[in-house]
Amino acid sequence: MEKRRLGRLGHESSVLIYGAAALSEVSQDVADLSIQEALDAGINHFDTAASYGDAELRLGPWMPRIRDQIFLATKTGERERDAAWAQINASLERLQTDRLDLIQLHAVGDLEELNKATGLNGALEAAIRARDEGMVSAIGITGHGHEAPATHLEALRRFPFDTVITPLNYALGRDEAYLGAWQELATETQRVDAGLMIIKTVSRRNWSEDDHRYTTWYEPLDEQEQITAAVAWVLSHPEVTGIATPGEVRLLSKLIKAERERVGVTGAQVADVLDGVAAYSSPFVAMPI
């Protein structure tokens, strides 16, 4: 699997980042099979969060075996310093490790949330303390929504975050305003040498009321040709370090296949496939609360 440098952190991360939201509600046996599938495919960057149900608990038993082989990231969704500090410590316990490669301020998708997280006694202070005390090596920021790229650009002006996770897919890329904001963010991450990771690569739209075939909160693309085209399009952007796999264990094999088969897929081929996807739209029209 291709690897790309994670900004100034220097880690050569696999272009597929294991999205451990997929482990939120599965048994340990199911989790074990999925984690092994990822490792066998060459995935060396695992991304989880305190809010992802049992995900940290499912990854924890693997850490004595693989901790030195992977880049391990988690997230705190708390906004106040003390609550974030407690959550970071709890994540370390759940993950059965004494160190994280990356702690991220989670779900910061607009300026209101950014102000809370980066303000006086905000979560950022806890992340800095964790870094200064050697519990984490780096600090990042993540977020959903149409305002995420502009919010993350402002975040980089306020603090030298090492990484950013922000949304991008072909449907969002057809929105000129959104793509313009994303391109500004991408340019800034290149300037400051921050790692830029992507979520929602294979999102198709919001779920219809009567159809929830997968555990993702959005309806994903699930035809192989479409997934391959979507992965090829996002990874054609050289600023992108990698893409987080969706929160559904049954889709992992299709993302792995897409990463292998994307080489040689042209922009015209991507457009031919994805322009024909019915009801293809932003997943942020009706985000769950």
DSSP string, 151-201: HHHHHHHHS--SEEEEE--HHHHTSHHHHHHHHHHHHHHHHHT-EEEEE-T
C-alpha to C-alpha distance for 57 and 223, rounded to whole angstroms: 31
Confidence category of residue 205, pLDDT binned at 50, 70, 90 = very high
Mean of pLDDT over the chain: 97
SS3 letters across 71-125: EEEEEECCCEHHHHHHHHHHHHHHCCCCCECEEEECCCCCHHHHHHHHCCCEHHH
Confidence category of residue 209, pLDDT binned at 50, 70, 90 = confident
Looking at the domain assignment, is residue 289 inside a domain? no
Looking at the domain assignment, is residue 123 inside a domain? yes
pLDDT tens digit string along 21-77? 999 999 999 999 999 999 999 999 999 999 999 999 999 999 999 999 999 999 999
Domain that holds residue 184: 3-274
> Residue 287: its pLDDT value, please?
79
Identify the CATH number of the domain in which residue 232 sits: 3.20.20.100
Looking at the domain assignment, is residue 286 inside a domain? no
Looking at the domain assignment, is residue 151 inside a domain? yes
Looking at the domain assignment, is residue 282 inside a domain? no
pTM of the model: 0.97
CA dihedral over 60, 212, 242, 52, signed as positive or negative:
negative
User: Is the pLDDT at 146 greater than 80, yes or no?
Assistant: yes
Looking at the domain assignment, is residue 285 inside a domain? no
How many domains does the structure of the chain reveal?
1
Q: Which residue is associated with the tokens 């457009």?
A: 271
CA angle, corner 157, sides to 286 and 194, nearest 5?
Answer: 80
Mean pLDDT score, 191-208: 96
User: Is the pLDDT at 289 greater than 80, yes or no?
Assistant: no
pLDDT tens digit string along 87-139? 999 999 999 999 999 999 999 999 999 999 999 999 999 999 999 999 999 99
Looking at the domain assignment, is residue 74 inside a domain? yes
Looking at the domain assignment, is residue 284 inside a domain? no
